[in-house]
Every structure is written in C-alpha cells, then in structure tokens.
Structure 1
Amino acid sequence: MIDFRHQTFLQLCRIKNYTKTASKLHITQPTVTQHIQHLEKHYGVKLFNYSGKSLEITEAGKKLYKYTERMTADSKEIEKTIKKKSNTQTIKFGATLTIGEFVMPNVLNQVMKKNPELNFDMLVENTETLLNKLKAGEINFALLEGFFDKSKFDYQLFSNEKFIGICSPLSKYSQQKIRLEDLLDSRLILRENGSGTREILEQILYTNNLSQKSFANKLEIGNLNAIKELVAKNRGISFIYQAAAKKELANNLISDLKIIDFNIKREFNFVYLKNSIFEDQYHKYFKLFSSYRK
C-alpha cells in the first residue's frame, strides 16, 4: 500500500491548491503542508514553488509524480493479486468505442474458448476517460483508437485500421468520386469531444484547412450505432473506422464515400503505464489478443 503522504502529493499535483486538496482528502491544510514538507525532506528536493499566486510543480516534483502515479496503479494490482482466493484470473481493461464494440467481442470470444480460466472486465469509454482510469490504477491496460502522449505511456501497435467517410446509398454522393470540399454542404454527424474518432477527423480536416464548422450543419452523438442509423437514413454523413461499419457496408445499408486522395489508416494501440512491474503480464495479454485479431 502506497504511503499516505504520497497520496496527498498526488492530489496536490492534480489540484494545485492546498486548501482544495485538504478538502478533497478530508484533512486540514496544515496536514497537507506537513505531508509535503516530509517528502521534500525525505528526498532532499523542492517539490513545489509559487509563481505569483499559482502553485507550480518543480522538475523534481514532476519526476516524483510520474513514479508515484505508477506505484499507485501497481499497488492496487498487487492488492488484488494477494487477496485473490481462486485460480480464476480477472483482467480489467479499457477499450475505446470502436474497438470495444466492433473488434474485441470476437477477440474475447476466441480467447475465452482457449483459456476458460480467464475472466475479462472490459470498460468501453472514450480515450480521455480511459487514460485517466489507467493512471488511477482502475484498469490494467487500454486499447485505444485515438491520439495519446506516447512519451507518457508504454504501448504496442495492435493493428492499423482504415478510416473512411460514410453516407447513405441514397445520398447524391454515393458511388461518386468526390473531393473532401464537396461534402461541406452536408450535415456532419460526429462523435463527442474526447473520442478518438473525433480527434482523428478533426486532425484530417485541419490538414485540409477545414474544420467541423466548415460543414453546413453538425450533429454530435456519442453512440456509433445511432450515427450509422442516421447515415443510413440519409440524415447526414460521417467518418468512422471501417471496422465499425463492416456489417452495414456488406449489407449495403451504408456506402463508403469515394473521396479523392483519402486513403487514411490509423493505429489501434495497446497502452499501459510506463515501467510497470506488471509489464511482462501485459505483454502476455497483448500477444494473446493480437493472435485473434483478424
């Protein structure tokens, strides 16, 4: 179990206010100060400085934050392992929406057929939420479709996936060769802020000197099935991973947009905390999942 003073340090790093940190932890402000002073004396470094009225983390503090965050996550996993009373393993991990709904069900089905002793608890959330849960030790690893800071995490490439535009078979754009700019009079149906799919679309638009505001209308929906249903009914266009539309494309419920010079692939990554003591175990699950990805 991680030292309580390190827990105070983590909260102060995140909140950057002694009073609010004390309130969050249900302790007094002098106690927060004592905890930080103890750590500074123990490590022989200054962990925080004030810049005007703002509390800033020193370079030494940033290093300690990184290691303490990882130790906290590992500590939670150690506790679960020690308390485990059966031989059945439960692996808790996260996946972004496309991966969780359209890739992992088949992978998990195959894995559990061959490994009946394994249990899985998969949390499906957007990239931002999963990274926060990973850092907090609430999940062991995450399969992400979006961008993340690769300098702050260890990761393995899970797959390269095609990113496409979709429309209704009844759309005037269906089966037509078009430019990205030709779509601007359409209603753009896109995911919510924080989703990997949206981040990728926004980057693509940016590199083409466009944005979501360039489109005539916009509709935000957090559910991929709802997006595909609206597209199928010709209520707008969208951009998603081909893996998420495989069934609808095969059944001609939606069409892929034939956009000139739009041949885009993006990474699905298997992500975990840097230098975790459970790194070898996570590698094992990466190899297991990868072997059933088709």
Structure 2
Amino acid sequence: MMDNVSQIKMFFLSGLNETNNHRFTLFFLTLLCYCVILMVNISVIVTIILDKNLHEPMYILVCSCCMNGLYGTAGFYPKFLWDLLSPVHVISYAGCLVQAQVINSFVCIDLSILAVMSYDRYVAVCRPLEYHSVMSKQRLITLVCFSWLMPFFIIAANICLTSRLKLCSPYITGSLCVNWTIVKLACFPAETAVNNIAAYITIIIYLFHGFFIFLSYMYLVKTCVNSVENRAKFMQTCVPHLMSLFTFLVSLLFNVIIIRFGSKDFPQTFQNFVAIEILVTPPLINPLIYGFKLTKIRKRILVVLTFKAQ
C-alpha cells in the first residue's frame, strides 16, 4: 500500500466530469470572463502607474489589490480552460501544490491589503493633519510588502506541511487544488494534526485582520456621523473599500463552507461554482468598483478612452 502511495505523481480532478456536454460553452464563457478580468485589472494598474497624480497611498493600495487579482486568477484560469477542452482532467502533484499556494495566498493577501486600506482610510479621515507623516512613502512600502510577503510565507509553511503527507488517493473532488482538498487525501488522519493546527493558526491570524478592519470602519463611521465634510469624504473614498470588502467576505464565506464543510447533497456543479466564485467575483468587481467610484481613477480612464476614440 505504502509503495503505491509513494507513486502518486498525478491527481485526477473529478469536478468537471459533469461538464462534458457543455464544455465548449463553458470554455468560451470562462475565456470571456478571464479576458474581462485581465482587461479591467490591467486598465486600473496601468492608469495608476502612468499618472503621477495617482501616486498616493490609497491608489497604490488599489493597484496592489488589482495586481493580486491578476496573481490569483493566473493560478487558476489557464489550467481550468485547458481542462475544459481536455478529455482527461489531471494535474501533477507539484502543479497541484503550486496552485494551492497561489490560490490560498491570493485569498490571504487580499484580506491583508483590505486591512491596510482600512488603516489608510482611518488615518486619512480621523487624523488628516498627520496623514502624510503617518502614511509616508517608506511606511507605505513596508505595509504593501508586509501584506504580500507575510501571507505568502504563512501559506508556504502550510503547503510544506501538506507536502510531507502520505496520500492514499489521486482523486480530488472539485476542479482546483487548495490546501484542504490535498490534506483530505492523507492515508493517516493522525498525520494531519499538525496541518490542522497550522490551518487554525492561519485562520485566527486572518480573523484578527477581519476584526481590525471591522474596528477601523466602526471608528470611521462614528467619526463621520457628526461632520458633513467627513461624511462626504467617507462616501467618496471609504464606500468603494467597503463594497470590495463585502464582495470578498461573501465569496470567502461560501467558499469555506463548501470546501471545508461541503455536503454530498449539493450537486457537483453547484459546488464547483461556489469553489471558484472567489476567483471570479472579487477580481472582476474590485477594479470596476474602484474605476467607477474613485473619482480620480474614473476621470483618468475616461480621458484615455476619449483620447483613443478621437
């Protein structure tokens, strides 16, 4: 048995078995979705990079959020599109670990960036006279690096723990690899105790991120209630972040429920949709929210589009 376990080099993704009759339709819809995600995220990123007037902490964080959208979707869509056209849905062991690293870290990075955004908005609205000294260029670089590197290494540690497990099955239920789906294939549940501890520590760390975001916006709301000027500033710059946060949290909640506590009573197609929804909605909606709601970005994009039309 153990000799067979050591020979597992490929995983079979069973989540797409029910899509064979509609695979070409799904391929073109998925390709269209991915192209739109690339277009809207790259548009916001390029706009912010090229316009020096947008080289402010808030817009740099928006740029970082869009870059993370490109990073996360790059770990899923190319492989998913290939699987939709392929009669056999397989992924190598190493490829599965890499995909799990990218997708899991994408989720954690997004939450870290949202936490930094909430801190930035708290300083801008509640301590406006200190804003430029608190959110200095050096501190902004530190916070952006922190929001990328800390989640990346935390997830990398989880993936390293997963890579040591002996697996008894090459069949993954679903259409993508995340850390939990690999851990479930372990031969000996006792071996996954360390993985579970690491997973719960990771969850606690990012629950604290969520708690920090909640406190920041509660304090912002309290500060803005009695000031017309602050209310206007809140509506203009904080509402897009809140919309982005709401979209992300709803997507994450459904994703966690299905992946970690999913029931066989749900149709596989529904489980697939919920599992990949976090790689559809936030990367697609976030740049649209920032592009339309943040005045400076919207005006700059409209100027570029008008110039090209002429």
User: Shorter-chain TM-score: which interval?
Assistant: under 0.3
> More strand per residue: 1 or 2?
1
TM-score by length of 1: 0.24
Q: What TM-score comes out, normalization by structure 2 length?
A: 0.23
- Please state which structure has a larger fraction of its residues in helix: 2
Larger radius of gyration: 1
